[in-house]
Each structure stands twice: as structure tokens, then as C-alpha cells.
């Protein structure tokens, strides 16, 4: 069975022409992160729980 392609969503905090562009794709149970300026480059993958912990930490809660 061929894997389903990921649907990438660009962060609302990323600028159109700036260097800081992040995209996220959700593929239960994994959250994928990549640099939108280097789509074929390295990617990070997190479990749902790890991603939620990161978001709480980033929000300062």
C-alpha cells in the first residue's frame, strides 16, 4: 500500500518572503514539520503528545 501524501499547511506566523517559514502536516498519530523554503530538506516528526507538550512550552504555560 502506497503512503498517502502529506498535506502541508504554512504557519500563519511565517512571512511570504522572509527566512522563517514553517509548514506543518498532520498524519495521525504524527505531526510533521519542515522548512517551506527547503521542502526536500530535513523534516521533524513528533507524536501527538510530544507536539502538545511543545506547544504548551512555546506558549509559556
Decide: residue 15, CB within 10 A, 0-12 exposed, 13-18 middle, 19+ buried.
exposed
Note the helical H segments in 8-61: 48-58
pTM of the shown model: 0.74
Q: How far apart are CA 4 and CA 40, in angstroms?
A: 17
pLDDT of amino acid 19: 65
pLDDT of amino acid 17: 66
pLDDT tens sequence across 18-58? 666 889 999 988 999 998 888 899 999 999 999 999 889 98
Higher per-residue confidence, 46 vs 13: 46
Residue 11 has pLDDT above 80, yes or no: no
Amino acid at each position: 500500500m502506497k503512503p498517502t501524501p502529506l498535506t502541508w499547511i504554512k504557519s500563519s506566523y511565517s512571512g511570504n518572503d522572509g527566512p522563517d517559514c514553517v509548514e506543518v502536516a498532520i498524519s495521525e498519530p504524527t505531526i510533521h514539520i519542515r522548512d517551506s523554503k527547503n521542502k526536500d530538506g530535513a523534516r521533524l516528526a513528533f507524536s501527538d503528545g510530544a507536539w502538545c507538550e511543545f506547544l504548551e512550552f512555546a506558549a509559556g504555560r
